[in-house]
């Protein structure tokens, strides 16, 4: 295990099982609908790759890069779109996916922006949810795991761009960012 990981919060097995369940739920809900999955890079890449492969329906995938974080562990409160989707989402059923919902600022800002483009529907999926940290009442429609208020890395989640490739999600030892 990586020496900067204090403890493993979610094992590779637990993540895989939960992602399969989410995929099955989405498969049932979106039968016969014109679906676009929008993934927020970079962190979501690992999750969305597994999630979409667990969805047994035709769908398209788009990526966005939105950042509210610097290299620290706290939100800056502002969301910048650095890369936008490349196709129209008008009339489509959009599923917005992120690795983790924390303050809720990212999901709220991106959801509002996407709604202006008149999708047929918009729902949100987050693999992890730090419910206690919410500042705006934002709720994801689908949540993989509710987790405690600790800084986590792995399975796409980073600290200053490191640790994304860990196959599990672990709590980063504060000494790693002291
Ligand atoms: P929010 O806008 O505060 O909800 O933050 C969402 C984004 O913050 C996520 O997409 C992550 O990039 C980042 N983030 C929040 N908490 C963590 C964490 O514990 N580890 C790594 N990234 C995090
Ligand atoms: Mg992110």
Query: How many structural domains are present in the chain?
Result: 1
Within 10 angstroms of residue 18's Cβ, the number of other Cβ atoms is: 17
Is residue 169, in this structure, part of any structural domain at all?
A: no
Looking up residue 30, the CATH number of its domain turns out to be: 3.40.50.2020
Pocket test of ligand 1: the residue of 9, 41, 68, 69 to mutate, having most ligand atoms within 8 Å of its CB, is 69
Is residue 72, in this structure, part of any structural domain at all?
A: yes
Residues with CB under 6 A from ligand 1: 40, 43, 68-69, 75, 98-106, 151-153, 157-158
Structural domain for 35, as ranges: 12-152
Rounded to whole angstroms, how far apart are CA atoms 109 and 94? 15
**H-run or E-run covering 109:** helix 105-115
Q: How do the pLDDT tens digits run along the chain, 178 residues long?
A: 889 999 999 999 999 999 999 999 999 999 999 999 999 999 999 999 999 999 999 999 999 999 875 555 666 667 889 999 999 999 999 999 999 999 999 999 999 999 999 999 999 999 999 999 999 999 999 999 999 999 999 999 999 999 999 999 999 998 898 7
Is residue 87, in this structure, part of any structural domain at all?
A: yes
């Amino acid at each position: 295990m990586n020496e900067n990981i204090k403890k493993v919060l979610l094992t590779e097995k637990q993540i895989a099982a939960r992602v399969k369940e989410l995929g099955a739920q989405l498969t049932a809900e979106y039968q016969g609908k014109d679906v676009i999955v929008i993934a927020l890079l970079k962190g979501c890449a690992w999750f969305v790759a597994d999630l979409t492969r667990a969805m047994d329906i035709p769908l398209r995938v788009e990526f966005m890069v939105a950042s509210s974080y610097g290299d620290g562990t706290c939100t800056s409160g502002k969301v910048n779109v650095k890369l936008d989707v490349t196709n129209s989402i008008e009339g489509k059923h959009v599923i917005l996916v992120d690795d983790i919902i924390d303050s809720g600022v990212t999901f709220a800002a991106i959801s509002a922006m996407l709604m202006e483009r008149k999708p047929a529907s918009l729902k949100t999926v987050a693999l992890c949810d730090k419910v206690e940290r919410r500042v705006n009442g934002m709720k994801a429609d689908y949540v993989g795991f509710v987790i405690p208020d600790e800084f986590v890395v792995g399975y796409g989640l980073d600290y200053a761009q490191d640790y994304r490739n860990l196959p599990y999600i672990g709590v980063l030892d504060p000494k790693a960012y002291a």
